[in-house]
Amino acid sequence: MTVENVNSAIAQLEAINPIEEYAYEKAILAYLTIKKLPVLLSDIPEGTIVFRTRTHEIDNLFTTVSGISISPNEFVVNFARCNRPFQSKFYCSENRPTSFMELVENWADTKQFGEKVYVTISRWELKKKLTSIFITTPDREKRISEFDIHYGSVMESFIKKCEPEIRDATIIFYRYLFGKFRKPAKDDPKTYIITTAYCNLALSHSKGQASGIYYPSVPFGGQGVNFAINSNFATSENMELTNILRNEMSISENTNGMHSFTETGRQEAISFDIINDIIEW
């Protein structure tokens, strides 16, 4: 890993046309030219609580646990922050507000004042530790969120242990990745291609140690944290469903002429049966 091949890989990534048939494969090949791809891991402890939100267009209720859990691969048709098409991840957040914020931007673009949106939020507890890959910045002055402040010190220790000839290359590489993972990408498929290609290569390079990606929420200003958990970890053996709540959100116009969302209804599931795939309300 050298400064030259990192800069060359970044140039190749930036030259990708996201509508080309082999755009994703070009991103993979660009990363492979770096050699010794750096991967930083963090253990999320057993007992950690995460929240997953599903939105629905009409006033209805999910009646199956599978409907609020990880999506089948065949229903995943677009790139997202950590997945390619036909690759499902269990996306979730460390708290309810962060989970909601991941959807607010889309609601603001597609919903009118006076309309309502309905979301089902589920609460899950890790039954085993989750080893995850994380990306932060090597630049101390750019560490604004709690996530980056905490993991920045971990990154500094990692960089200090690098051999001198690859230290500068590592800094350039993580500086580039940090920019991509903190960039809004709703209308920018190239960014999603670049971040997903790294995620999948990093997960492969971890030799089975890592089962997810751990990254700050872009819509929440980096203050909330998201997880993209691999499908082989997102099972009842590793994650326990503990609560399900359906929220009604009413949309109004605030003093700045922007969308404002207010909770105007809630309904908690009476019970749920994972084995028989049933939710009772």
Indicate whether 33 belongs to any domain. no
Indicate whether 27 belongs to any domain. no
Span 265-281, average pLDDT: 94
Span 168-178, average pLDDT: 94
Q: What is the structure's pLDDT at 259?
A: 82
pLDDT surpassing 90 at residue 180:
yes
Tokens 């105007």, residue? Answer: 264
Q: What is the structure's pLDDT at 128?
A: 96
Q: What is the structure's pLDDT at 179?
A: 92
List, for residues 129-143, the tens digit of each pLDDT value: 999 999 999 998 988
The Cα 26–Cα 18 span in angstroms is 10
pLDDT surpassing 70 at residue 22:
yes
Handedness of CA 275, 280, 126, 42 (dihedral sign): positive
Q: What is the structure's pLDDT at 86?
A: 96
Indicate whether 35 belongs to any domain. no
Q: What is the structure's pLDDT at 8?
A: 96
List, for residues 105-155, the tens digit of each pLDDT value: 777 777 888 888 899 999 999 999 999 999 999 998 988 888 888 899 899
The residue ranking higher by pLDDT, 218 or 252, is 252
Q: What is the structure's pLDDT at 220?
A: 61
Residue type, 166: I
Instruction: Give the other-Cβ count within 10 Å of 131's Cβ.
Output: 17
pLDDT surpassing 90 at residue 231:
yes
> How much is the pTM?
0.91
Q: Identify the three-state secondary structure at position 91.
A: strand
Q: What is the structure's pLDDT at 115?
A: 85
Residues 6+ apart with CB under 8 A from 59: 116, 118, 248
List, for residues 35-48, the tens digit of each pLDDT value: 889 999 999 999 99
Indicate whether 30 belongs to any domain. no
Q: What is the structure's pLDDT at 219?
A: 64
Lowest mean pLDDT among 97-111, 201-215, 242-256: 97-111
CA distances to 210, 222, 228 from 151, rounded to whole Å, are 17, 13, 18
Indicate whether 32 belongs to any domain. no
The residue ranking higher by pLDDT, 228 or 100, is 228
Indicate whether 5 belongs to any domain. no
pLDDT surpassing 70 at residue 249:
yes
CA atoms within 13 Å, Cβ hemisphere of 102? 25
Indicate whether 34 belongs to any domain. no
Query: Would you tell me the crossing angle of helices 164-181 and 189-205 to the nearest 10 degrees?
Result: 130
Q: What is the domain range of residue 84?
A: 40-280
* 144 φ/ψ angles, rounded to the nearest 5 degrees: -100, -40
pLDDT surpassing 90 at residue 263:
no
**Of 255, 213, 267, whose CA–CA distance to 113 is shortest?**
255
Q: Which two three-digit tokens encode residue 117?
A: 């949106």
Task: Provide the number of structural domains found in the chain.
Answer: 1
List, for residues 66-95, the tens digit of each pLDDT value: 999 999 999 999 999 999 999 999 999 998
pLDDT surpassing 80 at residue 223:
no
The Cα 257–Cα 41 span in angstroms is 43
Indicate whether 183 belongs to any domain. yes
Q: Identify the three-state secondary structure at position 253.
A: strand
The Cα 225–Cα 99 span in angstroms is 9
Lowest mean pLDDT among 96-110, 192-206, 226-240: 96-110
Residue type, 188: D
108 neighbors 259 (Cβ within 8 angstroms): yes
The Cα 43–Cα 36 span in angstroms is 22
Q: What is the structure's pLDDT at 221?
A: 64
227 neighbors 93 (Cβ within 8 angstroms): yes
Q: Which two three-digit tokens encode residue 120?
A: 């089902």
pLDDT surpassing 70 at residue 222:
no
